[in-house]
Amino acid sequence: MEKPADEFRTSPVPVLQAVNQTDGTRYYRPAPIEAAIQVAKELSRETVLARAKIRNTDAPGYVPSEVLVHLLRASTDDKSDTFFDALYQLIIQRIEALCPVPSRRTQDGGDSAASTALFVRETVVGQVNEYIARDREGYCEKLDFFEVRFNQAIARRRSTAKRTIARREARTDSMDAPSLSRGMDEKFERALAAAYQARSAKADTDFFRFKVAPAIDQLPEKERIVINLMLQGIQSETKDLTKPSISKMLGLTDRAVRYRHSSAIKKLKALIADQGAS
């Protein structure tokens, strides 16, 4: 005979503690969610986990994400983490489905759209992980809304993450404002070309050491990696299967690598101009 999902089968569903900042009232689960929780409490854990894999919200046996969050929190005191771990993985899968990442191969101008989507997903998952960890230690009110409107909770955090990366990109784009003089621009090009030819980030010129190298350190990570790989003499693309290439190492198209390099060069010039190079 199957055992109930856990020992809280006969215990009342606890009232949520978080307060709605708009009207000062406590959050409460919609009636359908309360009913679904009661149904889940009467099922075996195996059945709950099997039904939790159903993604079609209209399919018989579908378990709402709000219910999964409730069961996850209620299983915190279990002697075994098996049920908790399984629920956790299923919840993360649903979060990832709500934060899709497009294929990098379909992106023009490099993989910026895929990178942005990946940043958003990782940010949202990271926040939920933090809430769950805090809830296991005591009680995290931020998880309450996930028991009320799961999809809306994820959507809010997606929007916040998108605004965050938009602000970062705006700050980066603002670096394009300063420009090098013609003479300084030529000096930069010569210094970088010499460094590429020397296959070393330690090119023997004061301009490179004191102007270009520090600016490289300030580049966004993805662009900094491309520049540093080029400084090591690694080509963007090669038909020689025995030789490494940046596109192979980073899993990018040659076009994406060239886009990152071009973007990096623009930012390097802006950074050096911003230093008041003379």
Q: pLDDT at position 3, please?
A: 44
Count of domains for the chain: 2
Same domain, 186 and 235: yes
As a whole number of angstroms, the distance between CA 77 and CA 75 comes to: 6
As a whole number of angstroms, the distance between CA 256 and CA 253 comes to: 5
* pLDDT per position as a tens digit, 197-245: 765 445 457 778 888 888 898 888 888 898 988 888 888 888 877 788 8
Q: What is the pTM of this model?
A: 0.60
Q: pLDDT at position 66, please?
A: 97
**Chain CA centroid to CA 93, Å:** 14
Which 3-state string (H, E, C) describes the chain? CCCCCCHHHCCCCCCCCCECCCCCCECCCCHHHHHHHHHHHCCCHHHHHHHHCCCCCCCCCCCCHHHHHHHHHHCCCCCCCHHHHHHHHHHHHHHHHHCCCCCHHHCCCCCHHHHHHHHHHHHHHHHHHHHHHHHHHCCCHHHHHHHCCHHHHHHHHHHHHHHHHHHHHHHHHHHHCCCCCHHHHHHHHHHHHHHHHHCCCCCCCHHHHHHHHHHHHCCCHHHHHHHHHHHCCCECCCCCCCCCEHHHHHCCCHHHHHHHHHHHHHHHHHHHHHCCCC
Same domain, 182 and 239: yes
Q: Above 90 in pLDDT, residue 252? A: no
Query: Which pLDDT band, with edges at 50, 70 and 90, does 168 fall under?
Result: low
Percent of the chain with pLDDT over 90: 35
Same domain, 109 and 214: no
Over residues 138-147, the mean pLDDT reads 94
* pLDDT per position as a tens digit, 170-180: 655 554 445 56
* pLDDT per position as a tens digit, 94-126: 999 999 988 754 444 445 677 788 888 988 999
Same domain, 97 and 139: yes
Q: pLDDT at position 112, please?
A: 67
Residue 196 lies in a domain: yes
Same domain, 39 and 50: yes
Over residues 13-17, the mean pLDDT reads 84
The mean predicted confidence, pLDDT, of the chain is: 82
- Among the three residues 145, 174, 203, which one is the final residue of a domain in this structure? 174
As a whole number of angstroms, the distance between CA 41 and CA 6 comes to: 7
Query: Which of 275, 274, 269, 271 lies closest to 183, judged by CA?
Result: 269
Domain extent, residue 268, equals 177-274
Same domain, 205 and 256: yes
Same domain, 141 and 216: no
As a whole number of angstroms, the distance between CA 84 and CA 67 comes to: 13
User: Pick the residue with more confidence: 68 or 175?
Assistant: 68
Q: Above 80 in pLDDT, residue 41? A: yes
The strand pairing partners of 87, in sequence order, are none
Query: Which pLDDT band, with edges at 50, 70 and 90, does 12 fall under?
Result: low
Same domain, 35 and 162: yes
- Among the three residues 150, 174, 198, which one is the final residue of a domain in this structure? 174
Residue 165 lies in a domain: yes
